[in-house]
Structure 1
Amino acid sequence: MRIAVGRRGGAGRLTVPPRRRDAGVSWWRDAGTSPWWRGAAAVAAGALPAFAFPAPSLWWWAYVALVPWMLLIRTAPTGRRAALDGWLGGIGFMLAVHHWLMPSLHVFIVLLAALLGALWAPWGPLVRLMLAGAPSRARAWAALAVVPSGWLMVELVRSWEGLGGPWGLLGASQWQVPAVLRVASLGGVWLVTLLVVAVNTAVVLLVSVRALRVQAVAGIAVCALAVGAAAWWAPAPRPSGQVRVAVVQPGVIDGAGGAERRFARGEELTRGLAGRADVDLVVWGESSVGTDLSARPEYTARLSALSRQVGAEVLVNVDARRADRPGIYKSSVLVGPRGTTGDRYDKMRLVPFGEYVPFRSVLGWATSVGKAAQEDRRRGDRPVVMTVGESPGQRGLRLGPLVCFESAFPDMSRHLVRGGAQLLVAQSATSTFQDSWAPGQHASLAALRAAETGRPVAHATLTGVSAVYGPDGGRVGAPLGTDRSGAEVYEVPLAGATTPYVRFGDWAVYAALAVLAGLGAVGTARAVRRRPAPGTPVPPARTARGSRVRPGR
């Protein structure tokens, strides 16, 4: 300790100089001011929402998962730093939600996360604009609409198929909450996302601005009342009968001849349904048939024999090169006692890198570092509604097929229902990611699609998780997990009512766009009002002490 002679205390008086302002500051405060520590904190905070999705499936966590990230952004010293915090948090979010892709994409997933994480860069300054400092009451109420609307625009853009599709939408974390599923029937998963982010925004105000705690609690209460009102007011699915659907899950089959052995296992499991139950439809998973049925009539004959034995048509999925046109297609094909019925749906939306490589001439190198598609699959050109069990004088069941991650797109199931589908069937295969969170996440999407459309959804996979959900999004029966190989029959309730989401579509998205447009209009009007009129003299600048600085001095 340094000892000095005091100037005012007389000779010989000992004084201790004050400590430097930054001496002894704890490491966590240094971390908050260091750009490197702040960047690491942004990445970690952005990853937190992943725990709201399966497998952890902590649905309640979604309502506070964004709080650390938003608290960090609101303290950003500049708008540029807020944009960087938004980008880094977006990287953390994409890596955490899609971490199960790492064995397939390896280092390439980091590049994808960096590109898609940039979508959150504009959201950072928006959060800072609405929440930084001590917002007024009016700005606090506006933040409850503006911040969620900004987040929803990020989800909307990244939901484009070419950017990976709508996997990990924040609203999808609420797939097991019945009251919130009623909200989805009103405005789809988009409206649920707005609700979840609004609660996060209110919690940020609650913990950071003491003067606005009343408004923050009121905002949370309004969100809770909105959920309760939706659960009470939203029209419930109107029962219109039931159908017995059998889901066939062969399980993990590796090694040489896997396609043929998988087909044989599907035959064995389907044959076991004969006499066991009065089945109306048998569903196999994605890529359950590895050859084109028109080129191999013996496979069609085997499937037709199964249909006769069980007394129901079989919906299979063919992953093969077509005989009647060039290229490989993934197709849902309905087979009856007399062969294929003529109903065929070719998958329209393909998985980037898994089924095709975007801009292959530029990104084709991804095939050398991961399991990207060596050859692009071909696309179908239209959705198809099939008819099952139709007979003279009796109308059959109207079926809307989806393949793999098409079940993640709200618009596809909505269009099928508008086309008359009574039952939605998603055929999937997530065997590549068998021991990850992916199978559970994929199966949970069916609950959202069921609640949005008011139609039951059967999610059939090769290796699990296979599950069936009723028209209200509630689970029907027990799912077939990733450790199962078997066939299960589900008594699936049908419904005839049309949900507001099917009728009015993505109105929640347009409402969010209107909120952001209103914010832009207000900002423009204020900028114009503050701009001095032409010819108005500019007042002289002032020094730190308030004295005027005269020109020429």
Structure 2
Amino acid sequence: MRGVRIAVARRDAVRRLLVSRWWRAAAAVAAGALPALAFPAPSWWWFAYVALVPWLLLIRTAPTGGRAALDGWLGGLGFMLALHHWLMPSLHVFILVLAALLGLLWAPWGWLVRLMLARAPSRGRAAAAVVVVPSGWLMVELVRSWEGLGGPWGLLGASQWQVDAVLRVASLGGVWLASLLVVGVNTAVAVLVSVPSARTAAVAGLAVCALTAGTAWWWVPSPRPAGEVRVAVVQPGVINGVGGAERRVARGEELTRELAGRDVDLVVWGESSVGADLAARPDLARRLAALSREVGAEVLVNVDARRSDRPGIYKSSVLIGPQGPTGDRYDKMRLVPFGEYVPLRSLLGWATSVGKAAAEDRRRGTQPVVMAVGDEGLRLGPLVCFESAFPDMSRRLARDGARLLVAQSATSTFQDSWAPGQHASLAALRAAETGRPVVHATLTGVSAVYGADGAPIGSPLGTQRSASAVYDIPLSDATTPYARFGDWPVYAALAVLAVLLAAEAVRSLGPLSRPGRPGRGRPVPPARTARESSARRGR
């Protein structure tokens, strides 16, 4: 009977352990998903400052470093899944695979959180955590910003696109500094609620974050207007079915003709607004040239077609003047994984059979282009689709002399999801970072325009609209600190982590090198046996 009771007790213990592990795993996934609510469509920007707290508190209670890394991975999986849930209709089950792979990036971050916050950290360690934990998070954002891993969509700092003070922070250090600020506040709040002995350090951390935002607001001036340009955005709306490409061009022409007499300087169409190579379709090129003459402005279209002068399909921003294409052309450089090409197609080509992955890889452009528009020579920097998510691309265009940035996009595949709003919000960050106004023009919404400080200009065109809109956009020649100095917050975060690793190495080796204690270069005395110890005590 005793053996039976022991067996039953062991079985119950194992069952409780498994249940507790499953509940902890589910809690990690759910906690990791919370920050997605800070992005459009919910746009709870204020929630970003506490959204990481449940995840941080869960990780700090992990019994081992391995378990903390697992909590980090599962939370990262939840975050990626919540942030990209609108991809499910296109990728189906493959979205789970991608989320699990990207979630692995947060495993080292989970280990780092436990290292800094486990048990009862000292005041000094808690204060250091407010800097170290955000630095670790930034490394995750940096790695996943690589195009091959999906690009910098959903960087935590981008959730603050409508907060003036944080936009000023972005002009100082880009979206990277904004992410550091948000994670720093979360870390300080986590310390405040979980480590009573370190509450002073937590309050100090919150003060530093507030001081950073205040310094940016005071030190970085708002861009001063230097001229103005009148830009029209043409959004044809959802057009599907047979002959969709031709009907889309026809609707674009109809909306553009309505702009005649409104004294616009530039008309912008969305991504894939023209579905035929203009060199192979001189009739279409002549129609667009006539449209430019009728409106009295050049038209920036986006051609998504197989080129006649080189092999493959390109997405290209093409400027059309009264005489036809002006010769200014930009070929998209950074393509959407699976949407426009399949990474490692020989290995992952099966994704085309379970979702809407690209059946044929599109070709890449080789360099950014700055276009001259109109008689006054307005310098325009075009971006295509999710290239507006990459801070370095808009910064490069601004440094090359672009005074206006234009992002041509199409999110019709995800029309009734969070994607259109999230995509449009990125333009506000790019404007604030570069000190250049940004026009985000789409086929089906959301189309929006942001000034050089990231503030919205006029009213956006929503996803239910088929219309054109005219925006009077102040230009600026100011150079923001971020445009001048680049990704310095990333290097600062790397330096913080390097110092931490060096300090941990010294701490672990320190006792071995202290005088009078066993250590390196000193023989370790043999352990006394129990009999020897008893004999010494009996003397």
Quick check: TM above 0.5?
yes
Query: Structure 1's 538 and 93: CA in aligned 2 closer, same or farther, altered over 3 A?
Result: farther
Say which of 338, 356, 365 aligns to 2:323: 338
Deviates more, 1:227-236 or 1:115-124: 227-236
TM-score (norm 2): 0.94
What residue identity is the alignment partner of 1:312? A
1:478 and 2:459 correspond: yes
Q: After superposition, what is the alpha-carbon deviation per residue over 1:487-528, rounded to whole angstroms, capped at 9, x for unaligned?
A: 000001101110000000000000000000001111122233
Query: Structure 1's 140 and 333: CA in aligned 2 closer, same or farther, altered over 3 A?
Result: same
Say which of 217, 223, 235 aligns to 2:209: 223
User: 2:443 aligns to what?
Assistant: 462
Say which of 267, 289, 292 aligns to 1:304: 289
1:64 and 2:45 correspond: no
Say which of 337, 348, 351 aligns to 2:336: 351
Q: After superposition, what is the alpha-carbon deviation per residue over 1:404-427, rounded to whole angstroms, capped at 9, x for unaligned?
A: 000000000000000000000000
Aligned length: 519
User: 2:171 aligns to what?
Assistant: 185
User: 1:530 aligns to what?
Assistant: 511
1:538 to partner: Cα distance:
4.2
User: 2:25 aligns to what?
Assistant: 39
Shift >3 Å, 4+ stretches:
30-33, 547-550
Mapped to 2, the partners of 1:456 and 1:168 lie a distance apart of 21
User: 1:270 aligns to what?
Assistant: 256
Q: After superposition, what is the alpha-carbon deviation per residue over 1:13-58, rounded to whole angstroms, capped at 9, x for unaligned?
A: xxxxxxxx9xxxxxxxx79981111000000000000000000000
Answer whether contact 1:247 1:282 (CA < 8 A) is retained. yes
Say which of 362, 370, 373 aligns to 2:358: 373
Mapped to 2, the partners of 1:64 and 1:242 lie a distance apart of 40
Mapped to 2, the partners of 1:522 and 1:500 lie a distance apart of 31
Mapped to 1, the partners of 2:183 and 2:535 lie a distance apart of 49
Q: After superposition, what is the alpha-carbon deviation per residue over 1:91-150, rounded to whole angstroms, capped at 9, x for unaligned?
A: 000000000000000000000001010000000110000011111111011101100000
Say which of 221, 230, 233 aligns to 2:219: 233
Mapped to 2, the partners of 1:78 and 1:524 lie a distance apart of 19
User: 1:283 aligns to what?
Assistant: 268
1:540 and 2:521 correspond: no
User: 2:421 aligns to what?
Assistant: 440
Answer whether contact 1:42 1:69 (CA < 8 A) is retained. yes
TM-score (norm 1): 0.91
User: 2:13 aligns to what?
Assistant: none
Mapped to 1, the partners of 2:66 and 2:534 lie a distance apart of 33
Query: Structure 1's 538 and 296: CA in aligned 2 closer, same or farther, altered over 3 A?
Result: farther
Answer whether contact 1:540 1:549 (CA < 8 A) is retained. no
1:530 to partner: Cα distance:
2.8
Deviates more, 1:406-415 or 1:229-238: 229-238
Say which of 182, 187, 210 aligns to 1:201: 187
Mapped to 2, the partners of 1:239 and 1:459 lie a distance apart of 20
Mapped to 2, the partners of 1:417 and 1:33 lie a distance apart of 55
Q: After superposition, what is the alpha-carbon deviation per residue over 1:433-455, rounded to whole angstroms, capped at 9, x for unaligned?
A: 00000000000000000000000
Secondary structure (helix, strand or coil) at the match of 1:247 reads: strand
What residue identity is the alignment partner of 1:184? A
1:235 to partner: Cα distance:
2.2
Q: After superposition, what is the alpha-carbon deviation per residue over 1:133-169, rounded to whole angstroms, capped at 9, x for unaligned?
A: 1111110111011000000000000000000000000
Q: Where does 1:18-37 land on structure 2 (aligned, <5 Å)? A: 34-37=20-23
Q: Give 5+ residue unaligned stretches, structure 1.
A: 1-20, 22-29
1:225 to partner: Cα distance:
2.1
Query: Structure 1's 209 and 453: CA in aligned 2 closer, same or farther, altered over 3 A?
Result: same
Answer whether contact 1:32 1:38 (CA < 8 A) is retained. no
What residue identity is the alignment partner of 1:223? C
User: 1:13 aligns to what?
Assistant: none
Answer whether contact 1:31 1:37 (CA < 8 A) is retained. no
Q: Which structure has more helix as a fraction of its residues?
A: 2
Q: RMSD over aligned Cα, in angstroms?
A: 2.1
User: 1:133 aligns to what?
Assistant: 119
1:214 to partner: Cα distance:
2.0
User: 2:104 aligns to what?
Assistant: 118
Mapped to 2, the partners of 1:424 and 1:488 lie a distance apart of 17
Q: Give 5+ residue unaligned stretches, structure 2.
A: 1-8, 10-15, 513-518
1:222 to partner: Cα distance:
1.9
